[in-house]
Amino acid sequence: MTIEKIEKGLNGLETGIEEVKLMNLELNKNNDRLQALIEQMEEQLNQYENALNAAQQIKLSNGELLNKYGIMKPPSQQESLTTTLEPCRP
């Protein structure tokens, strides 16, 4: 092998190494963005789960009142609006 061929091969390797470094940087950026999205999704999921748990606790407390004392809390204004807006069925 001549020195010329060796230098050509080294230049090719250096170019390949630079391309791999650029790809690695791009992959790291994508990974960081995906990680941030995953964290946002987990936060939203936790908020939804907390809201569902709170709603479930309200249902349970109303059910407990009904079972224990035969009474329930009066419906909230939002609930009463939805029941009054339902169409009358003959």
Give the contacts of 71 (CB within 8 A, at least 6 positions apart).
Answer: 65
pLDDT in tens, the chain (90 residues): 699 999 999 999 999 999 999 999 999 999 999 999 999 999 999 999 988 888 777 776 777 767 776 665 666 655 544 444 455 555
Residue 42 has what pLDDT?
A: 95
For 4, left (φ over 0), alpha (ψ -120 to 50), or beta?
alpha
Rg (CA), the chain: 32
Residue 58 lies in a domain: yes
| Residue 62 domain boundaries | 3-84
Residue 57 has what pLDDT?
A: 76
Residue 59 has what pLDDT?
A: 72
Structural domain tally of the chain?
1
Residue 58 has what pLDDT?
A: 76
| Alpha-carbon gap, residue 9 to 58, rounded angstroms | 73
Residue 31 lies in a domain: yes
Residue 51 lies in a domain: yes
Residue 89 lies in a domain: no
Residue 90 lies in a domain: no
Residue 81 has what pLDDT?
A: 47
Residue 30 has what pLDDT?
A: 98
